[in-house]
Amino acid sequence: MFQPAFLALDKPVGMRSTKCVEEVRRALCACRRGIKVGHGGTLDSSASGVVVMLISSATRLSNIVMMMPKVYRATIRLGKETSTCDFAGEEVFSSDWRHVREYDIDLALCSCLGWRNQTPPKVSAIHVGGRRAHEIFRSGGDPEIKPRPVYVESLFRVGGVSSCGEFVLSVRCGKGTYVRGIARDIGRSLGCGAHLSSLIRESVGTFSISGAARFGESGELNPSELEKAMMPLSELSEFLPVYALPDEDMRRLEKGLAARFSNASRRSFGNFAPEGMIAFISGGTFSIARLKREGGEILAVPEINILGGMAEEKG
Protein backbone atom coordinates (compact mmCIF):
# COMPACT_ATOMS: atom_id res chain seq x y z
CA MET A 1 0.00 0.00 0.00
CA PHE A 2 1.28 3.47 -0.89
CA GLN A 3 2.04 5.98 1.84
CA PRO A 4 0.18 9.31 1.57
CA ALA A 5 2.11 11.50 -0.86
CA PHE A 6 2.02 14.37 -3.33
CA LEU A 7 2.91 14.01 -6.99
CA ALA A 8 3.39 16.93 -9.38
CA LEU A 9 2.32 15.90 -12.89
CA ASP A 10 3.00 17.85 -16.09
CA LYS A 11 -0.38 17.73 -17.82
CA PRO A 12 -0.24 17.94 -21.63
CA VAL A 13 -2.50 20.22 -23.69
CA GLY A 14 -5.79 18.54 -24.59
CA MET A 15 -6.04 16.31 -21.52
CA ARG A 16 -8.58 16.87 -18.76
CA SER A 17 -7.39 16.90 -15.15
CA THR A 18 -9.77 14.04 -14.32
CA LYS A 19 -8.10 12.00 -17.08
CA CYS A 20 -4.75 12.65 -15.38
CA VAL A 21 -6.16 11.13 -12.20
CA GLU A 22 -7.31 8.07 -14.14
CA GLU A 23 -3.92 7.62 -15.83
CA VAL A 24 -1.98 7.96 -12.57
CA ARG A 25 -4.28 5.47 -10.87
CA ARG A 26 -3.94 3.05 -13.78
CA ALA A 27 -0.14 3.27 -13.75
CA LEU A 28 0.15 2.81 -9.99
CA CYS A 29 -2.39 -0.01 -9.89
CA ALA A 30 -0.18 -1.89 -12.36
CA CYS A 31 2.17 -2.62 -9.45
CA ARG A 32 -0.20 -2.35 -6.47
CA ARG A 33 -3.96 -2.65 -6.24
CA GLY A 34 -6.48 -0.33 -4.68
CA ILE A 35 -4.60 2.96 -4.97
CA LYS A 36 -6.62 6.05 -4.11
CA VAL A 37 -5.74 9.06 -6.30
CA GLY A 38 -7.17 12.58 -6.40
CA HIS A 39 -6.03 16.05 -7.44
CA GLY A 40 -5.41 19.40 -5.77
CA GLY A 41 -7.24 21.55 -8.30
CA THR A 42 -8.00 21.28 -12.00
CA LEU A 43 -6.30 22.87 -15.00
CA ASP A 44 -8.12 23.70 -18.25
CA SER A 45 -7.72 21.03 -20.91
CA SER A 46 -6.44 23.75 -23.28
CA ALA A 47 -3.54 24.46 -20.86
CA SER A 48 -0.49 22.44 -19.85
CA GLY A 49 1.63 22.26 -16.74
CA VAL A 50 1.46 21.31 -13.09
CA VAL A 51 -1.49 19.41 -11.66
CA VAL A 52 -0.85 18.15 -8.13
CA MET A 53 -1.86 14.51 -7.69
CA LEU A 54 -2.83 13.34 -4.21
CA ILE A 55 -1.97 9.75 -3.34
CA SER A 56 -3.75 7.61 -0.73
CA SER A 57 -5.12 9.58 2.25
CA ALA A 58 -3.36 12.75 0.97
CA THR A 59 -6.62 13.22 -0.96
CA ARG A 60 -7.93 14.77 2.26
CA LEU A 61 -5.55 17.69 1.70
CA SER A 62 -7.11 18.72 -1.61
CA ASN A 63 -8.55 22.01 -0.30
CA ILE A 64 -5.21 23.03 1.19
CA VAL A 65 -3.36 22.43 -2.09
CA MET A 66 -6.04 24.46 -3.89
CA MET A 67 -5.23 27.41 -1.62
CA MET A 68 -1.60 27.48 -2.79
CA PRO A 69 -0.54 30.31 -5.12
CA LYS A 70 -0.07 29.44 -8.78
CA VAL A 71 2.45 30.73 -11.30
CA TYR A 72 1.55 30.76 -15.00
CA ARG A 73 3.22 31.66 -18.26
CA ALA A 74 0.45 33.03 -20.45
CA THR A 75 0.55 34.04 -24.10
CA ILE A 76 -2.05 36.68 -24.97
CA ARG A 77 -3.16 37.49 -28.51
CA LEU A 78 -4.65 40.90 -29.24
CA GLY A 79 -7.44 41.61 -31.72
CA LYS A 80 -10.09 39.03 -30.84
CA GLU A 81 -12.20 38.02 -27.84
CA THR A 82 -13.64 34.51 -27.84
CA SER A 83 -16.54 32.76 -26.13
CA THR A 84 -14.14 30.73 -23.95
CA CYS A 85 -11.59 33.57 -23.55
CA ASP A 86 -8.95 31.30 -25.11
CA PHE A 87 -8.05 29.89 -28.54
CA ALA A 88 -10.63 27.08 -28.28
CA GLY A 89 -13.68 29.37 -28.43
CA GLU A 90 -15.62 31.15 -31.14
CA GLU A 91 -15.03 34.79 -31.95
CA VAL A 92 -17.41 37.19 -30.18
CA PHE A 93 -15.58 40.46 -30.91
CA SER A 94 -12.63 41.61 -32.99
CA SER A 95 -10.89 44.89 -33.73
CA ASP A 96 -7.63 46.24 -35.08
CA TRP A 97 -4.88 46.12 -32.43
CA ARG A 98 -2.00 47.75 -34.29
CA HIS A 99 -2.45 51.12 -32.57
CA VAL A 100 -1.79 49.49 -29.16
CA ARG A 101 1.59 50.39 -27.66
CA GLU A 102 3.52 48.32 -25.14
CA TYR A 103 3.02 51.21 -22.72
CA ASP A 104 -0.76 50.81 -23.11
CA ILE A 105 -0.49 47.10 -22.31
CA ASP A 106 1.55 47.74 -19.17
CA LEU A 107 -1.02 50.29 -17.96
CA ALA A 108 -3.79 47.72 -18.52
CA LEU A 109 -1.85 45.16 -16.48
CA CYS A 110 -1.82 47.50 -13.48
CA SER A 111 -5.62 47.36 -13.27
CA CYS A 112 -5.44 43.57 -12.92
CA LEU A 113 -3.13 43.53 -9.88
CA GLY A 114 -4.01 42.96 -6.23
CA TRP A 115 -7.47 42.17 -4.94
CA ARG A 116 -10.13 42.75 -7.55
CA ASN A 117 -13.52 41.44 -8.63
CA GLN A 118 -13.27 39.11 -11.61
CA THR A 119 -16.15 37.64 -13.57
CA PRO A 120 -15.26 34.03 -14.48
CA PRO A 121 -15.66 33.03 -18.15
CA LYS A 122 -19.05 31.63 -19.15
CA VAL A 123 -17.29 28.43 -20.15
CA SER A 124 -16.10 27.52 -16.65
CA ALA A 125 -16.89 25.13 -13.82
CA ILE A 126 -18.64 27.80 -11.74
CA HIS A 127 -22.00 26.67 -10.38
CA VAL A 128 -24.98 28.76 -11.51
CA GLY A 129 -28.34 27.65 -10.17
CA GLY A 130 -27.06 24.18 -9.41
CA ARG A 131 -25.47 23.62 -12.84
CA ARG A 132 -21.99 24.23 -14.21
CA ALA A 133 -21.72 27.43 -16.22
CA HIS A 134 -20.16 25.61 -19.19
CA GLU A 135 -23.08 23.16 -19.27
CA ILE A 136 -25.59 26.03 -19.45
CA PHE A 137 -23.58 27.87 -22.13
CA ARG A 138 -23.00 24.82 -24.33
CA SER A 139 -26.70 23.92 -24.18
CA GLY A 140 -27.56 27.35 -25.60
CA GLY A 141 -28.13 29.24 -22.36
CA ASP A 142 -26.52 32.39 -21.03
CA PRO A 143 -25.29 31.77 -17.45
CA GLU A 144 -25.44 34.81 -15.17
CA ILE A 145 -22.10 34.72 -13.39
CA LYS A 146 -21.47 37.17 -10.59
CA PRO A 147 -18.02 38.74 -10.10
CA ARG A 148 -15.99 37.35 -7.23
CA PRO A 149 -12.85 38.53 -5.45
CA VAL A 150 -9.52 37.14 -6.64
CA TYR A 151 -5.94 38.05 -5.83
CA VAL A 152 -3.20 38.62 -8.42
CA GLU A 153 0.13 39.00 -6.63
CA SER A 154 2.28 39.78 -9.67
CA LEU A 155 1.68 40.29 -13.37
CA PHE A 156 4.30 41.45 -15.84
CA ARG A 157 5.11 41.26 -19.52
CA VAL A 158 7.98 39.03 -20.67
CA GLY A 159 9.35 40.53 -23.89
CA GLY A 160 7.68 42.62 -26.56
CA VAL A 161 4.65 42.27 -28.80
CA SER A 162 5.05 40.05 -31.86
CA SER A 163 4.02 40.91 -35.41
CA CYS A 164 0.81 38.91 -34.93
CA GLY A 165 -0.13 40.75 -31.74
CA GLU A 166 1.05 38.23 -29.17
CA PHE A 167 2.91 38.86 -25.92
CA VAL A 168 3.82 36.71 -22.92
CA LEU A 169 2.87 37.36 -19.31
CA SER A 170 4.15 35.89 -16.06
CA VAL A 171 1.25 35.61 -13.61
CA ARG A 172 1.33 34.73 -9.92
CA CYS A 173 -2.15 34.52 -8.46
CA GLY A 174 -4.34 32.97 -5.80
CA LYS A 175 -7.16 30.46 -5.74
CA GLY A 176 -10.03 30.95 -8.17
CA THR A 177 -8.26 33.32 -10.57
CA TYR A 178 -8.97 32.70 -14.24
CA VAL A 179 -6.00 33.67 -16.40
CA ARG A 180 -8.39 33.44 -19.35
CA GLY A 181 -10.40 36.14 -17.61
CA ILE A 182 -7.30 38.31 -17.28
CA ALA A 183 -6.69 38.01 -21.04
CA ARG A 184 -10.31 38.98 -21.74
CA ASP A 185 -10.16 41.96 -19.37
CA ILE A 186 -6.89 43.23 -20.89
CA GLY A 187 -8.46 43.14 -24.35
CA ARG A 188 -11.53 45.03 -23.15
CA SER A 189 -9.37 47.63 -21.40
CA LEU A 190 -7.40 48.18 -24.62
CA GLY A 191 -10.58 48.23 -26.72
CA CYS A 192 -9.31 45.71 -29.27
CA GLY A 193 -10.25 42.40 -27.67
CA ALA A 194 -7.84 39.67 -26.60
CA HIS A 195 -7.76 36.00 -25.75
CA LEU A 196 -5.40 33.42 -24.32
CA SER A 197 -3.47 31.61 -27.06
CA SER A 198 -1.51 29.33 -24.70
CA LEU A 199 -1.11 28.74 -20.98
CA ILE A 200 1.47 26.85 -18.94
CA ARG A 201 1.10 26.41 -15.19
CA GLU A 202 4.67 26.51 -13.96
CA SER A 203 4.06 25.88 -10.27
CA VAL A 204 1.49 25.28 -7.55
CA GLY A 205 2.93 26.40 -4.24
CA THR A 206 6.13 24.42 -3.73
CA PHE A 207 5.36 22.01 -6.60
CA SER A 208 7.28 23.03 -9.73
CA ILE A 209 7.11 21.88 -13.33
CA SER A 210 10.86 21.22 -13.23
CA GLY A 211 10.32 18.30 -10.84
CA ALA A 212 7.04 17.06 -12.31
CA ALA A 213 6.46 13.58 -13.70
CA ARG A 214 5.68 13.45 -17.42
CA PHE A 215 3.85 11.30 -19.90
CA GLY A 216 6.08 9.29 -22.23
CA GLU A 217 6.13 9.59 -26.01
CA SER A 218 3.55 6.80 -26.22
CA GLY A 219 1.24 8.75 -23.90
CA GLU A 220 1.74 6.46 -20.92
CA LEU A 221 3.11 6.96 -17.42
CA ASN A 222 6.00 4.95 -16.01
CA PRO A 223 5.05 3.58 -12.55
CA SER A 224 8.64 3.57 -11.26
CA GLU A 225 9.15 7.19 -12.35
CA LEU A 226 5.92 8.18 -10.64
CA GLU A 227 7.08 6.62 -7.39
CA LYS A 228 10.42 8.43 -7.61
CA ALA A 229 8.63 11.75 -8.14
CA MET A 230 6.35 11.36 -5.11
CA MET A 231 6.89 13.82 -2.23
CA PRO A 232 6.06 13.34 1.46
CA LEU A 233 3.40 15.33 3.27
CA SER A 234 6.15 17.26 5.06
CA GLU A 235 6.52 19.13 1.73
CA LEU A 236 3.78 21.36 3.14
CA SER A 237 6.30 22.77 5.63
CA GLU A 238 7.25 25.34 2.97
CA PHE A 239 3.62 26.41 2.74
CA LEU A 240 2.06 26.06 6.19
CA PRO A 241 3.61 26.95 9.56
CA VAL A 242 4.68 23.61 11.06
CA TYR A 243 5.04 22.71 14.73
CA ALA A 244 6.00 19.64 16.73
CA LEU A 245 4.24 18.47 19.89
CA PRO A 246 5.20 15.96 22.59
CA ASP A 247 3.92 12.43 21.92
CA GLU A 248 1.17 12.73 24.51
CA ASP A 249 -0.24 15.86 22.85
CA MET A 250 0.04 14.35 19.37
CA ARG A 251 -1.96 11.37 20.58
CA ARG A 252 -4.68 13.82 21.65
CA LEU A 253 -4.74 15.34 18.16
CA GLU A 254 -4.91 11.86 16.62
CA LYS A 255 -8.03 11.17 18.71
CA GLY A 256 -9.61 14.44 17.61
CA LEU A 257 -8.98 16.16 20.93
CA ALA A 258 -7.54 19.63 21.45
CA ALA A 259 -3.96 20.01 22.67
CA ARG A 260 -2.19 22.88 24.42
CA PHE A 261 -0.37 25.05 21.93
CA SER A 262 2.03 26.19 24.66
CA ASN A 263 3.68 22.74 24.43
CA ALA A 264 4.46 23.15 20.72
CA SER A 265 7.85 23.95 19.19
CA ARG A 266 8.10 25.54 15.77
CA ARG A 267 9.78 23.68 12.91
CA SER A 268 9.12 26.10 10.06
CA PHE A 269 7.39 29.42 9.48
CA GLY A 270 5.84 28.52 6.13
CA ASN A 271 4.99 31.08 3.47
CA PHE A 272 1.24 31.19 4.15
CA ALA A 273 -1.32 30.34 6.80
CA PRO A 274 -4.58 30.01 4.85
CA GLU A 275 -7.60 30.61 7.07
CA GLY A 276 -5.42 30.27 10.17
CA MET A 277 -4.39 26.67 9.48
CA ILE A 278 -1.17 25.25 10.93
CA ALA A 279 0.36 21.78 10.76
CA PHE A 280 1.73 19.52 13.45
CA ILE A 281 4.19 16.79 12.55
CA SER A 282 5.52 14.20 14.94
CA GLY A 283 6.63 10.64 14.28
CA GLY A 284 4.34 9.22 11.61
CA THR A 285 1.43 11.62 12.17
CA PHE A 286 0.50 14.70 10.18
CA SER A 287 -2.23 16.90 11.66
CA ILE A 288 -3.87 20.07 10.33
CA ALA A 289 -5.33 22.19 13.11
CA ARG A 290 -6.68 25.63 13.93
CA LEU A 291 -5.94 27.63 17.05
CA LYS A 292 -8.61 28.88 19.41
CA ARG A 293 -8.52 30.65 22.75
CA GLU A 294 -10.39 28.99 25.59
CA GLY A 295 -10.26 29.98 29.24
CA GLY A 296 -7.13 32.07 28.85
CA GLU A 297 -5.31 29.26 27.04
CA ILE A 298 -4.58 28.70 23.34
CA LEU A 299 -5.60 25.27 22.07
CA ALA A 300 -4.83 23.45 18.83
CA VAL A 301 -8.04 21.89 17.52
CA PRO A 302 -7.43 19.16 14.90
CA GLU A 303 -9.35 19.11 11.61
CA ILE A 304 -7.42 16.58 9.50
CA ASN A 305 -5.26 13.72 10.80
CA ILE A 306 -3.20 11.55 8.46
CA LEU A 307 -0.95 8.68 9.48
CA GLY A 308 2.20 8.13 7.43
CA GLY A 309 3.64 10.03 4.49
CA MET A 310 6.38 11.74 6.50
CA ALA A 311 9.96 12.08 5.26
CA GLU A 312 12.49 10.38 7.49
CA GLU A 313 14.20 12.60 10.02
CA LYS A 314 17.81 13.40 9.14
CA GLY A 315 20.22 13.19 12.03
Q: Please indicate, yes or no, whether residues 193 and 283 belong to a single structural domain of this protein.
A: no
What is the count of structural domains for the chain? 3
185 part of the active site: no
Q: Please indicate, yes or no, whether residues 103 and 147 belong to a single structural domain of this protein.
A: yes
Q: Is 216 a member of any domain?
A: no
Rg of the Cα atoms in the chain: 22
This model's pTM is above 0.85: yes
Q: Please indicate, yes or no, whether residues 97 and 172 belong to a single structural domain of this protein.
A: yes
HSE-CB of 194 using CA atoms within 13 angstroms = 32
Q: Please indicate, yes or no, whether residues 58 and 82 belong to a single structural domain of this protein.
A: no
Q: What is the CATH number of the domain that holds 186?
A: 3.30.2350.10
**Confidence at residue 272, expressed as pLDDT on a 0 to 100 scale:** 76
Q: Please indicate, yes or no, whether residues 255 and 151 belong to a single structural domain of this protein.
A: no
Catalytic residue among 10, 44, 86, 249: 44
Q: Please indicate, yes or no, whether residues 255 and 266 belong to a single structural domain of this protein.
A: yes
Q: Is 211 a member of any domain?
A: no
DSSP one-letter string for 198-265? EEEEEEETTEEGGG-B---TTS---HHHHHHH-B-GGGGGGTS-EEE--HHHHHHHHTT--EEGGG-E
Q: What is the pLDDT of residues 162-196, one digit of tens each?
A: 999 999 999 999 999 999 999 999 999 999 999 99
Mean per-residue pLDDT for 79-96?
Answer: 95
Q: Please indicate, yes or no, whether residues 16 and 99 belong to a single structural domain of this protein.
A: no
Domain assignment of residue 57, given as a range:
5-67+221-231
Q: Is 313 a member of any domain?
A: no
Mean per-residue pLDDT for 103-109?
Answer: 97
Q: What is the pLDDT of residues 40-77, one digit of tens each?
A: 999 999 999 999 999 999 999 999 999 999 999 999 99
